[in-house]
Amino acid sequence: MADIWVIDDDRSVRFVLAEGLREAGYSVREFEGARSALAALASGTPSLVFTDVRMPEMDGLQLLDTLKSRRADLPVVVMSAYTDIASTAGAFKGGAHDFLSKPFDLDKAVELATRALEPRRREAPPAETATGSEPELLGEAPAMRELFRAIGRLSQAPLAVLITGETGTGKELVARALHAHSPRASQPFVALNTAAIPSELLESELFGHEAGAFTGAQRRHTGRFEQADGGTLFLDEIGDMPLPLQTRLLRVLAEGEFFRVGGRELIRVDVRVIAATHQDLESLVAQGRFRADLLHRLDVVRLRMPPLRERREDIPALAVRFLGQATAQLASSVKRFEKSAIARLQAHDWPGNVRELENLCWRLAALAPGETIQAGDLQQALGQTSASYAASSAQGEVDDWESSLRRWAARELASGANGLYETAHQRFEQILMQTALDATGGHRQLAAKRLGLGRNTLTRKLGSSRQRRGG
């Protein structure tokens, strides 16, 4: 009979789990710490281990390490109340069979044991240690805990992942977390928002172009695939990709090689692709707007981000975090939410999800008059943010670059950079001018008109921008 060991310093957890497993017909031994379990290894070996993480004498991840060094094929289930990605990924990295977040459902735990004791399937290859800064995904709701567990597990296998969810639910953050905890963590993470780039430029953004490949292509440009070589490419809003490009993408994903636009050199890359969408790709396939074979290739594993209104219990912690960050970064006076304000936030429906909440907190940090924020202070601000999200999905894009800019500025400031204004301003002008020129086929007068600039101003700005770039 399978012998299961349960290791936990918390007597009640140990008791409940052991009893549940015994009732299911397993023989169970209980240990209150890692040392006694290790000592018992001398006289017998378990078929499966459940271990807690935080225990006084030796922590569960260390125990996992020791157990794995002695019996690499022993399935170990790590249990913890700490379901942040660092813990779950730490467990999976250490070779855990699974991660059980506390408090757990006993039936689920028993079912997990049954599955763990089935003949072993092929496991993901061992991973290197992840490095780099970790995005902080907050969430205590069951769906988020489940998601963190999935991220921990998936980060070790280079599978394609499709992340679905409404705008602002954290899809990009999840993609970043998958990368940061993967063996590719020290390699680049490159993101491309398909919806934010004019379709005629998308191909060269993805695959790069040679100088002279088309009007406006003065010099060679490496595409995002090349930039992401060895790392992860995050393709956001994949449902907006034009069909011809879908065909090209599919081929590149299958073959791992491509030509730059206008190029003859075959480029080989090793890129893990993570795609995201707020659209229903199945219905796009049914309408003939998305290739079914591309969907299958991208959708090896699907992660669904719950909208914020489905996890209202997470709203207080998110709001407090965002308000704290915003006041710190704006160097404004410390502010806090009154209970009534938190209740008001929890009652709101958040069409713009976490991003809307984040934007609201920035607005409050900048504008709320007092040190405490009350329900009444929220009424107007909430009306404004939600109306803008509900009004049009295009607004989402505007907010998208605004929050990217904010993140960039905060990151630069945190790393001690100076002269941000000039750098950002130059990039801003350059991007606007180049995009307008591309959209008008290089016609300066028309581009100037579309931007609302005089032709001479545009020419002057283009000249100084070229000079700066040494062109």
Ligand X SMILES: Nc1ncnc2c1ncn2[C@@H]1O[C@H](COP(=O)(O)OP(=O)(O)OP(=O)(O)O)[C@@H](O)[C@H]1O
| Contacting residues toward ligand X, per CB under 6 A | 136-139, 165, 167-173, 236, 278, 318, 354-355, 358, 396, 400, 403
Nearer to ligand X, 387 or 405 (CB): 405
Nearer to ligand X, 51 or 359 (CB): 359
As beta bridge partners, residue 277 has: 164
CB of 89 to ligand X, least distance (A): 16
**For tokens 């893990």, what's the residue?**
272
Nearer to ligand X, 340 or 403 (CB): 403
For residue 365 the two structure tokens come to 């940090």
285 phi, psi to nearest 5 deg: -65, -45
How is the chain split among helix, strand and coil, in percent rounded to 5? 50, 15, 35
- What is the rounded distance in angstroms from the CA atom of residue 250 to the CA atom of residue 235? 13
User: How open is the CA angle 407-91-125, to the nearest 5 degrees?
Assistant: 95
Residue 390's nearest CA partner among 361, 358, 352 is 352
CB of 251 to ligand X, least distance (A): 26
Return the residue nearest ligand X (CB atom): 170
Nearer to ligand X, 62 or 329 (CB): 329
As beta bridge partners, residue 191 has: 234
CB of 275 to ligand X, least distance (A): 11
Nearer to ligand X, 96 or 281 (CB): 281
Query: What 3-state class would DSSP assign to 307?
Result: coil
- What is the rounded distance in angstroms from the CA atom of residue 51 to the CA atom of residue 34? 8
Nearer to ligand X, 209 or 272 (CB): 272
CB of 252 to ligand X, least distance (A): 23
- What is the rounded distance in angstroms from the CA atom of residue 100 to the CA atom of residue 115? 13
Nearer to ligand X, 110 or 196 (CB): 196
CB of 144 to ligand X, least distance (A): 7
Amino acid at 430: Q
Nearer to ligand X, 32 or 237 (CB): 237
Residue 242: cis peptide before it, omega within 30 degrees of 0: no
Parallel, antiparallel or unpaired: strands 336-337 and 232-236? unpaired
Measure Cα distances from 27 to 5, 32, 244, 374, 423 in Å.
Answer: 9, 17, 59, 56, 66
CB of 319 to ligand X, least distance (A): 11
CB of 192 to ligand X, least distance (A): 11
CB of 317 to ligand X, least distance (A): 9
**For tokens 């280079």, what's the residue?**
158
- What is the rounded distance in angstroms from the CA atom of residue 221 to the CA atom of residue 303? 33
